[in-house]
Amino acid sequence: MGEFRDGTTRVLITTDVWARGLDVQQVSLLYIHRIGRSGRFGRKGVAINFVKSDDIKISRDIEQYYSTQIDEMPMNVVDLI
């Protein structure tokens, strides 16, 4: 965890239970397997959701409900950071 916080390690894989208490300032790309908090309050970043074709309508409903737009991820993830 220390290496992740100081930037030596760029990838952290953890369970959702252990991740609940994490708050790392320099996180700019995040993948959450399960719905939950991610310790990013007040900071910009990217959340990635994997959506099957069966779920596209639900995704659009979420966009409409929250008055937001969920953009398709570009092939080059570096463009997001």
- Structure token pair of residue 32: 């959450």
- Structure token pair of residue 60: 């659009």
Model confidence, pTM = 0.42
- In the chain, the amino acid numbered 53 is S
Q: How far apart are CA 12 and CA 30, in angstroms?
A: 10
Could you give the domains of the chain? 2-80 (3.40.50.300)
**With the CA atoms of 11, 17, 18 and 19 taken in that order, what torsion angle do they form, in degrees rounded to the nearest 10?**
50
**With the CA atoms of 14, 20, 26 and 29 taken in that order, what torsion angle do they form, in degrees rounded to the nearest 10?**
60
- Structure token pair of residue 10: 């760029």
10-58 pLDDT tens trace = 777 776 666 666 777 776 666 655 555 555 566 666 677 778 888 889 8
